[in-house]
Amino acid sequence: AVVSTQSTGGLVALLIRKFVATIVVTLIYLALCLALHVWAMKLRWGKDKDFYIWNAGKDGYLILYVCQRAGSVLYYFFYKRTTLRLGDPNYYKDSAWLREHVN
């Protein structure tokens, strides 16, 4: 049987509780990506086509680049783990386990 609409709100809360680490890692990774790409565009904007970003003398950019690349490992790990965990049939059928966790 399919989960009823009355428990849908509880199911969403359960999913958020179960996957809060993935949500946090995703938001941090998004912030790192945005910061890196905005900084790269600011460094390159208005420069000639031969401009090499690593010669700009920006040590902070290198640190942000390394943090973003290291964060990508965590992001992809949590992404894959969450994908596998969402395949659990307990989330898709009415069961004692789901009723216990939702209510």
Q: Residues 87-99: pLDDT tens digits?
A: 877 666 666 666 6
Backbone angles phi, psi at 89, to 5 degrees: -65, -20
Q: Residues 13-33: pLDDT tens digits?
A: 777 888 899 999 999 999 999
Report yes or no on whether pTM surpasses 0.85.
no
